[in-house]
Each structure stands twice: as C-alpha cells, then as structure tokens.
Amino acid sequence: MARVEIKEISKIFADHNAVNNVSLTVEDGEFLVLLGPSGCGKSTLLRMIAGLELPTYGDIFIGERRATRLQPKDRNIAMVFQNYALYPHMTVYENIAFPLRVRGVDKQATDAKVQWAADLVGLTRMLKRKPRQMSGGERQRIALARSLVRDPDVFLLDEPLSNLDAKLRHSAREELRQFQDRVGVTSIYVTHDQVEAMGLGDRIVVMQAGTVRQVGTPEEIYLHPADTFVATFMGSPPMNLVETDGLTLGFRPESFLPAVGFASDIAVTPITFNVHRVEYLGGDRLLYGNVMGSLPNTAAIARIPSSVAYTPILGSEAKFAVANADLRRFDKDTGKAIEQHKPVENRRAAYV
Amino acid sequence: MSSPAPNNTLAGDRVLAYATLAPSAFLLLLLAGVPTITVFFTAMQDIGMGDLSGPYVGLDNFAWALSEPSFYTALGNTFVWVFGSVSLEMVLGLGLALLLNKAFMFRGAARAIILAPYLVPTVVAVLTWRYMLHDIVGIVNAALMNIGIINQPVLWLNSQSLAMTSVIVVGVWKFFPFAVIALLGILQSIPQEQYEAASIDGASSFQQFWSITLPYVMPVFLLTTLLRSIWTFHKFEIIYLMTGGGPLDSTTTLPILVYIKAFSDFEFGRAAGGRHYHARHLVRAPCHLLHPHEKSGGTPMTALTTSYPEASRQPRRNFGNGRRSSSDVARPSLPAGADGCLRCRFPAFLDGPLLIQAWRRALHGTPDIPA
C-alpha cells in the first residue's frame, strides 16, 4: 500500500509531447481512473509509473521512495495489461507463481501464496489449465492473481476490460471493483470508456493531448465539467453546447425537458426546440432537433424518460426548458467553465 | 415421411470442390506418387542404363547396399554432414536472429546483407569458395599466413581430415539465413507486453529469454531444424561441386554415393571391360583436360588407364571408381586418389569420347586416349 505522487512529469517522444507537465496525487488505497481519448497520454503516464517508460522531466514517488529512475521490478508495483500478457506455455499455476519463482521464493511459500491468490479470484479449480483454454474473463482473473501474489504497493491496470464483450465487461467491472475493495490496494486504472471510469473510479482524471483537463469524483466531472472538452467527452449523448453572445451554454440531454413538466417553484430557462427525429431506446427516448428562438439555431439532443408522458410533434416548435441549476456556462474562447462548482442537487424531484 | 440424412453442402459446391482439387491432386500423384512407387520397383530390378530394364532380383540391391562398406562410410559421412551443418546453422541462426531483432542503426541493411548468401546461386557460391579455399592461390590461406596463424598452406578441400569441415562451413554459410528468417519471424511475433510483464514481475534478462523467448521460438526452431535436416540430408550439389565426394570418400554422402552409382557406374555397369573403361573416362576426361597438372603421383593418363585391371572388376558391386571405393583392392599399382582430378570433378557423362579426344588434340596436342 502506498501513496503515489507525480510531480510535473513530461514525456517527449521524437515527434510529439505525449505527456505534458502533469502533476497528480493518488491517495493510499484509492482507485484512480485515467480517462481520455486514444492518444491523450494516459497509457504513457501509466507506463512511466510502471517504469516501462522513463519521463523526460519530472518525478514519481511511490510511498516515500523516489521511483523516477528505478527498474520496474524494484518499484513493487503490479500491472495488468490489455491483453493480460499471460505466458501462453505456462499453466495457470505457473503463471501466477512466476513473479515469486523469478525472485527465488521457496516452493512452499510460493504454493501457499498461489493458492491464496487463486482463491481470491476464484481460480482454484483451474490451476492446471493453460491460458488458451480459458475464457476472457478467466484470463483477466489469472492476470489479477499473478499481479496479486507479490503484495504490490500499487496496482496498475491498462484497459484490462477492453478485450471482453459488452456483457462480460459489465460483470468483470463489478468483480474488479469488489476485488479492489477487498484488497484495498492503491489502483491506477487506464481506460477510454467513460462508463467504466464512472463505475470504477473513486476519482477520475480526464486527460486530453497530454494534459490533465479535470480531476474529480465521477459526480463532479459529470455535473460540473471544467471545460467544454470534458463536457462533451463525458456522457452519451454528450452535453448540448449552444454558443451565444459572449459565452457557451451547456446542458445535459436529460436536463433538457418539456417546459410543462417543471414544478412552478423552480427557476428555469425556456428554450424553443424543433424536433426532427425520435429514437426510442426503451427506458428513454432521444429527441434530435434544433434549438432556436432567442438562441442561435444549433443542433441539440433531449433525453426524455419513457415514463414522462410526452408526444413530440416532428417539425414543429415546442417549448422546452432547462433548470437554471443544470445550466452550465463556459467561456466562449477558452472553453473553461465560468461558475464555481456547486453542491450536487437532487434535480429529479423537481420534475413531474 | 423419412427425414433425409443431414447434408449441409449444396450439390454444386461439392462438384466445385472436387473440380478445384483435381488438378493439384493429379499433379501430386504424377510427380510425387508415381516416382515413389516406381523407385521401389527399380530398386528390386537389375537395371542398366542401356535399355532401362532388367530382371527382377528381389531385395538383392538392398542386401548389396548393406554389405557394401562404402555404404556405411557414406552413411557416417552423411551423419557428420547433416549434424554438423544443421546444428551450426541453427545456433548461428538463432544468435543472429536475436541480434537482428534488437533495434539498432542500419538494422534494415543488416537484415538484407544476412540474406545474401541464401540468394547467391549455389554454383557461384561454391566456385567462389573454392577459389577462396584454394591451397595455393586462395585468400583464406593467404590471409592466415599473413596474420601468422599458419606458416604453410592448409589443404582445406584436398585433405581427408579437413574436407568435410570445409564443406560444412560453406554449407552453413550458404544456408544459415534460412534459420535467421524463420526465427526472426517468430521473434517479432512475440508480444512486447510479455517482456514488460516479466520485467515488472522481476525477471532478469536471462530469465526472460529462458521463460518467454525460448518457449515461443521452440516450435519454429524444431520445425526449422527438421526441414533443414531433411534438405541437408539429400543436399547434393554443394558437396559435389566442392569436392565431388573426395578426397577418397571423405565427403561422399549418401546422395553422392547414389549419384555415382547411378550415373557413373550403373550407366555402363553391365558393359564389358572395354566399355567400362570408356565410362570411367567419360566421367573424368574433362578434368584431365582442364587440369592435367592436378593428377597426383605424376601418372600419365595413358599409363593410368592401361594399367587398370578392368577384367578383375565387378562393375555392379563396387563403385567402379578407385578414388572412392575402399573395397576396390584391384588397383594395387596406383596410390589411392591417383587417377582422379583432385581439383575439379566435372560431371562428364554428357560428353562423348570423340569430343574429348578432339579437345585434347586441340588443347595439348597429346596423343589420343586409347579407345
């Protein structure tokens, strides 16, 4: 267990800055998610923490130790790779035991430790098999068990769920979170999937083009994005952005609702919405259209729960509104959020 | 109502499948199947070159091979040749493949250069090597003497003790790129993550090589070893062009033995002494023409041939070629190796004696070979 501190770290490859002056602190036992589109530098950052890449500038501390120039094996970290990097010619047992074997741990201690790790991830009955005979989810658990046997200070996970199909990914995410709660080890998790990030992370670091755009809890990041990049990267469909004179207005599709439904004591901003197309998703309907009226004509999406009785009329202007508390303002030029973060409110109660 | 047997192919698909397979199957049968079968029948007949047919003799030919000392010599030579070549090729190939798998400047160029020996035609390579290994004018001896490692020329190809080593060295030089290509291919397919995971797990470079590289490479390594062994086992031209199987029979491997048997003895094997005499000269005449000085012991051509006790020979039961056959005791008057050109063993069965005589007259003005 350890705290990880990253100080003003940069990685410059021949042709571009992969990571640009990033500082971060990961608290002991925290589950931190590095989130961003591909090429944003999140994997490079993780690999620098692992010691697989050396930073061009900056320092990394693991626990009290300065680890910037340490060999990967001397950092007492464990890493789970996207493809798990299991050794295909070894059995599950040999895979899990490998980190102990190469460190010269004696057979009895190895055996006890492997049994313990295999039990923790539920692989006790499959120790004699080879990885290729196992499913994707089982392979992921082998990789977890292998990284666990050494009692690492830090767990590094590089998109470990991206090779699983959608259904399996959901249950594996659940397992992974439970597993981390049980082990309680500091974890840094890289993903480009915002749903994964929201579901797993104690805190999320949103990265873009080698820089950190925002650090915060899932709620903070979703409800109070620090800039328009985070606003559109988080959420599916993304936040609607409407450029007006002087500033950019932002509102989430699920906050963009027919005006009639709002309780009378709620301060709202009315918006005229012209619906072109309706997508029925079961629990929700997505209404594609354009905001108009006092606002510049801009494409927008509204997300209306199926439980709300509303029948959109295609091609005609309808009265919609956004609660003022859900309206975000961004600087038109820099894209930065203008308001201070507000406490999270219970917005749903205000809508019929 | 009876349910038909399950059949998931359309009728037309099946016809198309057989139709597309047919040409390959036919060629395979014709080119591989027929010779494989006929060679068994050939082996059980007493066949000469004249009429290409002969009486059925059962397993006599096999019994002959097993009772023939030169067969065992050739078998031993073949083992040395195959084992020596393949083991060196594979070790060298793995080493270089590992080296070429690392990133360094000019790696692309280095990879291309490594392939060069494999691309050079065997004849060109062998002729070049024979020049280089020549005891008098060869660059190898010259270089070694200049450095001072040796103080007199080494008979790389003309001594019984060194000829096989020299041929193996040339063979390894020619064919190790195959191992490099095959092993480099598999090395590049090893996911980098494996090494990264192992380095985080605490494995040293050697442990990574032992636990990841070797197990990954092993199937291809074994397959390449097998292929190279098969190809080296029946490799013919490189040995034949280097040494012709000599000196004496020191580099006569099984394919060379078979070749000699088939094309220098068999061909005229059943002929009487006079015809046999021609056969021997057909093989060697161009060598005498081109390299008259190479005959050791200074025996003139005519003396050599006339002193030959043809009548006592059993053409089908030895190699008819004193230079190669240890069982040939019917030539006590000549030192071993005296009647062959030590430098060049030109396969001469394509030439006729009249042409040879014409050459000799034109080149040297020497008397004709007695016909």
A79 touches chain B (CB under 8 A): yes
Same domain, A246 and A198: no
pLDDT confidence of residue B325: 39
pLDDT confidence of residue A202: 92
Contact A72 B200 (CB under 8 A): yes
Overall number of domains in chain A? 2
Same domain, A52 and A191: yes
Same domain, B159 and B289: no
Cβ-contact B162, B155 below 8 angstroms: yes
Residue spans of alpha helices (H) in B189-213: 192-201, 205-208
pLDDT confidence of residue B9: 67
Pick from A70-84, B71-85, B253-267: least confident: B253-267
Same domain, B199 and B326: no
Same domain, B123 and B195: yes
Cβ-contact A100, A109 below 8 angstroms: yes
pLDDT confidence of residue A165: 79
Q: Which of A52, A80, A105, A159 to probe by mutation at the B interface, max B CB count within 10 Å?
A: A52
Confidence of residue B6 (pLDDT cuts 50, 70, 90): low
> Among B360, B183, B198, which Cα is nearest to B285's?
B360
pLDDT confidence of residue B299: 36
Residue B190 placed within a domain: yes
Mean pLDDT of chain B: 70
Per-residue model confidence as pLDDT tens digits over A276-298:
999 999 889 999 999 988 888 89
Given B194, B199, B207, which is nearest A72 (Cβ)? B199
Same domain, B131 and B222: yes
pLDDT confidence of residue A241: 92
The secondary structure of B73-103 as a DSSP string is HHHHHHHHHHHHHHHHHHHHHHHHHHHHHS-
pLDDT confidence of residue B135: 79
- In this predicted structure, the answer to whether residue B131 has a pLDDT above a threshold of 60 is yes
Same domain, B223 and B280: no
CATH of residue A15's domain is 3.40.50.300
Residue B123 placed within a domain: yes
Interface pTM, i.e. ipTM: 0.80
Same domain, A103 and A32: yes
Residue A351 placed within a domain: no
Q: How many angstroms separate the CA atoms of A334 and B3, rounded? A: 74
Residue B317's domain spans which residues? 271-364
Integer angstrom CA distances of residue A337 from A34, A205, A213: 21, 17, 11
Per-residue model confidence as pLDDT tens digits over A145-188:
898 888 888 999 998 888 777 877 888 888 888 888 888 889 99
Per-residue model confidence as pLDDT tens digits over A264-280:
888 888 899 999 999 99
Q: Which two tokens stand for residue B67?
A: 């009772």
Overall number of domains in chain B? 2
Residue A172 placed within a domain: yes
Sequence-distant contacts of A283-286: CB under 8 A, at least 24 apart: A284/A254, A285/A312, A286/A237, A286/A253
Q: Say which residue the tokens 């509303």 belong to.
A: A310
pLDDT confidence of residue A351: 67
Contact A52 B196 (CB under 8 A): yes
Same domain, A24 and A129: yes
Q: How many angstroms separate the CA atoms of A215 and A204, rounded? A: 6
Mean pLDDT of A217-221: 91
Same domain, A297 and A184: no
Confidence of residue B279 (pLDDT cuts 50, 70, 90): very low
Per-residue model confidence as pLDDT tens digits over B333-362:
333 333 333 344 333 333 344 444 444 554
Contact A52 B211 (CB under 8 A): no
Mean pLDDT of chain A: 87
Same domain, B118 and B214: yes
Same domain, A207 and A260: no
Same domain, B110 and B231: yes
Same domain, A316 and A195: no
Q: Which of B200, B204, B218, B221 to probe by mutation at the A interface, max A CB count within 10 Å?
A: B200
Identify the residue with better confidence: A1 or B119.
Answer: B119
CA distance B224 to chain A (A): 20
Residue A84 placed within a domain: yes
Pick from B218-222, B267-271, B343-347: least confident: B267-271
Contact A98 B211 (CB under 8 A): yes
Q: How many angstroms separate the CA atoms of B112 and B244, rounded? A: 32
pLDDT confidence of residue B46: 72
pLDDT confidence of residue B345: 39
Identify the residue with better confidence: B145 or B198.
Answer: B198
Same domain, A214 and A244: no
Per-residue model confidence as pLDDT tens digits over B77-124:
888 999 999 999 999 999 999 988 887 888 888 888 888 898 888 888
- In this predicted structure, the answer to whether residue A342 has a pLDDT above a threshold of 90 is no
Same domain, A91 and A46: yes
- A vs B: CB pairs below 8 A: 57
- In this predicted structure, the answer to whether residue B172 has a pLDDT above a threshold of 90 is yes
Same domain, B80 and B180: yes
Residue B24 placed within a domain: no
- Report the run of H or E that residue A35 belongs to, with start and end: strand A31-35
A13 touches chain B (CB under 8 A): no
Q: Compute and round to an integer the Cα radius of gyration of chain B.
A: 27
Residue A229 placed within a domain: no
Provide, rounded to the nearest whole percent, the portion of chain B with pLDDT above 70.
Answer: 65
Pick from A248-252, B31-35, B260-264, B296-300: least confident: B296-300
Same domain, B77 and B200: yes
- In this predicted structure, the answer to whether residue B318 has a pLDDT above a threshold of 70 is no
- In this predicted structure, the answer to whether residue A137 has a pLDDT above a threshold of 60 is yes
Residue A242's domain spans which residues? 237-338
Residue B49 placed within a domain: no
- In this predicted structure, the answer to whether residue A66 has a pLDDT above a threshold of 80 is yes
Residue A349 placed within a domain: no
- In this predicted structure, the answer to whether residue A206 has a pLDDT above a threshold of 90 is yes
Tell me the whole-structure pTM to 2 decimals.
0.69
Same domain, A117 and A148: yes
Cβ-contact B289, B351 below 8 angstroms: no
Residue B262 placed within a domain: no
Q: How many angstroms separate the CA atoms of B334 and A323, rounded? A: 117
Same domain, A281 and A145: no
Confidence of residue B370 (pLDDT cuts 50, 70, 90): very low
Residue B8 placed within a domain: no
Q: Which of B189, B190, B201, B218 to probe by mutation at the A interface, max A CB count within 10 Å?
A: B201
Same domain, B81 and B172: yes
Contact B204 A102 (CB under 8 A): yes
CATH of residue A269's domain is 2.40.50.140
Q: How many angstroms separate the CA atoms of B340 and B246, rounded? A: 9
Same domain, B218 and B279: no
Give, in degrees to the nearest 5, the angle at Cα A27 between A98 and A336: 120
Same domain, A286 and A187: no
Residue A352 placed within a domain: no
- In this predicted structure, the answer to whether residue B269 has a pLDDT above a threshold of 70 is no
pLDDT confidence of residue A31: 92
CATH of residue B217's domain is 1.10.3720.10
Residue A350 placed within a domain: no
Same domain, B228 and B321: no
